[in-house]
Structure 1
């Protein structure tokens, strides 16, 4: 009993501290932190203000949205109040009966704020309006109208662009939790399953991978997050995938593969992270999206293959059972890629040789024929 409890707490309480650090999480987020960025470089975020606003989280974006509109209304409300104050249109100045104000019915700061709101959002209740008495009020009206259009276009455009970003479409692309290594087509391959959860296609989609690892160069330099291209292929071809049903992509482990010298007993001791990317154009919006995930050595299962998940019903319809999406089945798999290629070479050499049972090797004694 105590042994079971000790094992349970070791896995659930201390397992998190033993997990490998990963650059890309399973849902595609990049876990990277920028430190000691110069203040001058931070100003570039304000130069590219559009991208900065789009990348903000929703709570910050809505805070800025509300603050910008309220701030602009209140700022111009102060200006309208100042115009009325300078022109002595306020009640405390006791204007005469024949006095024509710059703006009708502005009696306080509150009424000036309401007029600013009505002007910028073009409500036009008709109770307060600018007269022909002062050019300052006419200029301020034109300036606020133009600036209000710019603010509305920027903020509403940012909200619309945030909603329609293809990043959310990538959430409907899912990868298998584990990658498997087994034979496929007579070759040792690393296989990953990917599925599109929507019926709408991704046009021109293609898949590729990057292997991130730490290496030491012959000059003694340690390179962290060194990137190596991992080519994934599909039997139907790499480009323009017909991504209507789940696909199994695979990487052939040959002499040029970084997985060539790995084996079941040493793969867990390796320090690498396999990042897989899928890019395509969303059919409904024509926007390009990218889905990504990563695999660490603990998530690579040697000697397994994925269970089938596509079947055909009696009515002639194709059915995809996502219950088997991440399910794996143990299969006979070579101990390593080198073992498989050595076995193939031995078979090839055996086919090229012939066994002649009638051939007898006789020993012949050499005689010296050069006697004088």
Structure 2
């Protein structure tokens, strides 16, 4: 049974997605698996291209703390070297005579000056050493003020930690089929007024362009994401996937783009996340396993986040008896 699809007549293309339509000018997919846009920017100078504040705010915590500790050690090593250049005779209170022990003692004095602790046993007595110590104290004050601002920015920035199923499924749904994927909140914060928008992006061979169709969902909004949410797109006459088999879908080179937004009750701000599935990440003929159950005490619900992407393969309903439609 052959179904001829004329998407241009049957569907209204979304031309305001911001992704563009030129297939030959774009990469393999529009969104990476982490939700970032698959775009590399060129044509700018080095200083125009870098954005220190953005990088420091968004980098992983391990990288951020490693950078802070490295900068602290580097500054102390720099000022310790400066005291050696000036001469240790301009510093009093040094007890050790061995070179390595003396270096550690001067390094500790530099750290105490940089942090404005100043224990007092080791102190500058010469003019140049006093000037260098004053400069180091100023650098320390400015550095810690900068780090404090960055820490506040990182902690105060709303950041959603949503879990997505690794695959989208073509699953049985109300005697027909549906495209499904599942999300859940990995944190204990409350997400309310949740809304999902899903775009069906495919390759139009006639124009060699990408087309975007805003597909309908069973529920596009939920009041709260307390458990998991299986986002369902029924594959009926209103769906661009209706009547297509696996080979037809692969030929379209689809990318299913999910855009999710919600209100974070902890930060009192809106959060936004994105994800996409290409054809290789769509499982044909499967259904998600349940991922929550009653607790042993019977007084609460257990949400098993490790089951966010678990599914069972199963046969899809036979729809070949339906009337053939030619568009």
User: Normalized against structure 2, the TM-score is what?
Assistant: 0.65
8 Å CA contact retained: 1:174, 1:196: no
Instruction: Tell me the secondary structure at the aligned position of residue 179 of structure 1.
Output: strand
CA distance in 2, matches of 1:70, 1:303: 57
Structure 2 vs 1, CA of residues 45 and 240 (structure 1 numbering), >3 Å: closer, same or farther? farther
Conservation of the 8 A alpha-carbon contact between 2:167 and 2:283 = no
Gaps of 5+ in 1: 1-20, 91-100, 343-372
Residue pair 2:168, 2:282 contacting (<8 A) in 1 also:
yes
1:149 to 131, 136, 141: 141
Q: What displacement does 1:279 show?
A: 2.8
Correspondence for 2:70: 67
Question: Could you tell me which residue of structure 2 aligns to residue 332 of structure 1?
Answer: 317
Whole-angstrom distance in 2 between the partners of 1:259 and 1:152: 56
Q: Quote the residue 1:356 is aligned against.
A: none
CA contact (8 A) 1:179 1:295 kept: no
2: CA distance, partners of 1:217 / 1:43 = 43
Larger radius of gyration: 1
Using CA pairs under 8 Å that are at least 6 residues apart, name the structure with larger relative contact order, 1 or 2: 2
1:228 is matched with which residue: 212, 215, 220?
212
Give the Cα–Cα distance (whole angstroms) in 2 for the partners of residues 308 and 57 of structure 1: 32
Cα deviation, residue 262, structure 1: 2.6
Report which of the two has the higher share of strand.
Answer: 2
Per the alignment, in what secondary structure is the counterpart of residue 170 of structure 2? strand
CA contact under 8 A between 2:173 and 2:234: conserved in structure 1? no
Q: State the Cα deviation string for residues 68-88 of structure 1 (Å, max 9, x = none).
A: 222222333344445x54xxx
Cα deviation, residue 200, structure 1: 3.5
Q: Does 1:34 align with 2:3?
A: no
* Alpha carbons 1:278, 1:290 under 8 Å: kept: yes
1:271, CA displacement in angstroms?
A: 0.9
Query: SS state of the match for residue 276, structure 2?
Result: strand
**How much has 1:175 moved relative to structure 2?**
2.5
User: 2:188 and 2:181 mapped to 1: Cα distance?
Assistant: 21
Q: How does 1:1-372 map to 2 (within 5 A)?
A: 22=29, 24=31, 28=34, 30=36, 32=38, 34=40, 37-38=42-43, 40-46=44-50, 48-56=51-59, 61-82=64-85, 84-85=86-87, 90=89, 103-105=91-93, 110=103, 112-130=106-124, 134=127, 139-155=131-147, 158=150, 169-170=160-161, 172-175=162-165, 177-184=167-174, 189-216=178-205, 218=207, 222-223=208-209, 226=210, 228-231=212-215, 233-235=217-219, 238-239=220-221, 241-253=223-235, 257-260=239-242, 262-264=244-246, 266-286=248-268, 289-301=271-283, 306=288, 326-327=311-312, 329-332=314-317, 334-335=319-320
Shift of residue 43, structure 1, vs aligned partner: 2.1
Task: Indicate conservation of the 8 Å contact 1:173/1:197, yes or no.
Answer: yes
Q: Normalized against structure 1, the TM-score is what?
A: 0.59
Assess, with a 3 A threshold, how the Cα gap between structure 1 residues 79 and 269 changes in structure 2: closer, same or farther: same
Cα 1:240–1:306 shift into 2, 3 Å: closer
> Quick one: distance in 2 between partners of 1:227 and 1:155?
46
Unaligned runs of 5+ in 2: 1-27
Aligned-residue Cα RMSD (Å) equals: 4.5
Confirm or deny: 8 A CA contact 1:307 1:328 kept in the other structure.
no
CA distance 1:60–1:201, shift in 2 (3 Å): closer
CA 1:75 to 1:264, structure 2 compared with 1: closer, same or farther past 3 Å?
A: closer
